[in-house]
């Protein structure tokens, strides 16, 4: 079970704790006796672990509305046949000994750890994802690092797809990028067996984790329409339909996210598939490695912040990407592969660099 911490205040100048100056502090007016000093942190509202725990529930629908978790740690344990919705960002979440539950977990700044769970269906966004001693979990996942399964069987994964109005800001509060999602790049610690696979491409989130039915939770305006998803839907490690891919890289600016989303909409509406996305900082030496002879043109843009890279796949992807960039983003400096021949090398160069940068 996780521990619960509130933010520690700095001591006053000189290294001594600052006393809360209140009427009556110091000496009792009636008795003249010296009262124990009160520190400022003694007067703050205490975090009650019960507010951040679902335990021992059966056949219930429960949840937390946006703003009710606000970055605290959360524990879910010993629940059966429950629908659980955490519509907020949190620090870490542990899920222990849950059976036949349907769970939505909003953005998690650190790790989510499933232990001894079985027959659960989940939608999860996190920095780190891990399971141990689990059976038959089906997870629509957004994970910034490589997901880990250990001593688990019957695991199935799909790409996170979800929307409600507060979700984008919650991703920022949790320090997660909507473009960093390695949902299908699973590391299986259990030797000798393939204990995981991918959900069908046609899988619909609502068939696995239905929209909340309670009046309180229905106030959260949820959509599971893939076209509205906060996270771009990627093919991940599924087999590509074509041997032609195209790399497009947007540089940091006020409209980087909006521009990347616009290009995704334009390309997917024409039948091209988004394979993977990444948001990462680049240095000059990285630009030389990735952009080759075009590097000098883009190096000055790297100081503004991280780049957003998109890989599209399909016959004619390079030509269509170039055409769309010229028509829709004519005033924006964007890297796009020059030819089908160079594009596959562009993709390999960028994502090899990005995986090294992110420690994968």
Known binding positions for GTP: 110-111, 127-130
Contact (Cβ atoms closer than 8 angstroms) between residue 87 and residue 220: yes
Spatial distance between the Cα atoms of 66 and 225, rounded to a whole number of angstroms: 20
Strand partners, 154: none
Spatial distance between the Cα atoms of 77 and 114, rounded to a whole number of angstroms: 10
Number of other CB atoms surrounding residue 194 within 10 Å: 10
Spatial distance between the Cα atoms of 259 and 158, rounded to a whole number of angstroms: 25
Residue 108 DSSP SS3: strand
Strand partners, 123: 104, 140
Contact (Cβ atoms closer than 8 angstroms) between residue 307 and residue 177: no
Strand partners, 90: 108
Contact (Cβ atoms closer than 8 angstroms) between residue 275 and residue 240: yes
Residues in binding site: 110-111, 127-130
Nearest of 62, 73, 68 to residue 88 by alpha carbon = 68
Strand partners, 149: 131, 188
Contact (Cβ atoms closer than 8 angstroms) between residue 295 and residue 304: no
Can you list the alpha helix ranges (DSSP code H) found in the chain?
167-173, 205-208, 215-218, 256-269, 284-291, 295-298, 317-328, 340-357
- Give the distance from CA 138 to its chain's centroid: 17
């Amino acid at each position: 079970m996780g521990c619960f911490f509130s933010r520690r205040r700095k001591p006053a100048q000189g290294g001594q704790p600052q006393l809360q100056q209140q009427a009556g502090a110091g000496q009792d007016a009636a008795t003249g006796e010296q009262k124990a000093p009160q520190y400022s942190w003694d007067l703050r509202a205490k975090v009650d672990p019960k507010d951040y725990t679902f335990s021992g529930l059966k056949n219930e629908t429960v949840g937390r509305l946006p703003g009710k978790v606000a970055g605290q740690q959360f524990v879910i344990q010993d629940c059966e046949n429950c629908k659980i919705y955490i519509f907020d960002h949190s620090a870490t979440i542990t899920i222990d000994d849950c059976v036949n539950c349907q769970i939505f977990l909003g953005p998690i700044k650190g790790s989510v750890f499933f232990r001894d769970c079985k027959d659960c269906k989940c939608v999860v966004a996190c920095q780190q994802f891990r399971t141990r001693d689990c059976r038959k979990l089906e997870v629509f996942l957004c994970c910034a690092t490589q997901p880990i399964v250990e001593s688990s069987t019957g695991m199935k994964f799909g790409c996170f797809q979800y929307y409600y109005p507060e979700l984008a800001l919650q991703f920022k509060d949790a320090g997660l990028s909507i473009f960093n999602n390695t949902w299908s790049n699973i590391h299986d610690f259990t030797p000798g067996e393939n204990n995981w696979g991918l959900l069908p491409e046609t899988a619909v989130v609502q068939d696995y984790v239905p929209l909340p039915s309670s009046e309180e939770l229905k106030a959260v305006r949820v959509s599971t329409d893939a076209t509205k998803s906060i996270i771009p839907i990627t093919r991940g490690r599924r087999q590509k339909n074509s041997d032609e891919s195209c790399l497009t890289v947007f540089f940091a600016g006020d409209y980087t996210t909006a521009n990347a989303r616009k290009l995704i909409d334009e390309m997917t509406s024409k039948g091209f598939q988004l394979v993977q996305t990444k948001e990462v900082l680049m240095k000059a030496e990285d630009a030389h490695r990735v952009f080759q002879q075009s590097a000098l043109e883009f190096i000055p843009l790297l100081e503004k912040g991280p780049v957003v890279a998109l890989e599209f796949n399909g016959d004619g992807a390079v030509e269509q990407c170039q055409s769309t960039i010229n028509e829709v983003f004519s005033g924006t400096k964007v890297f796009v592969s020059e030819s089908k021949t160079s594009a596959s090398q562009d993709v390999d160069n960028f994502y090899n660099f990005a995986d090294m940068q992110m420690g994968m």
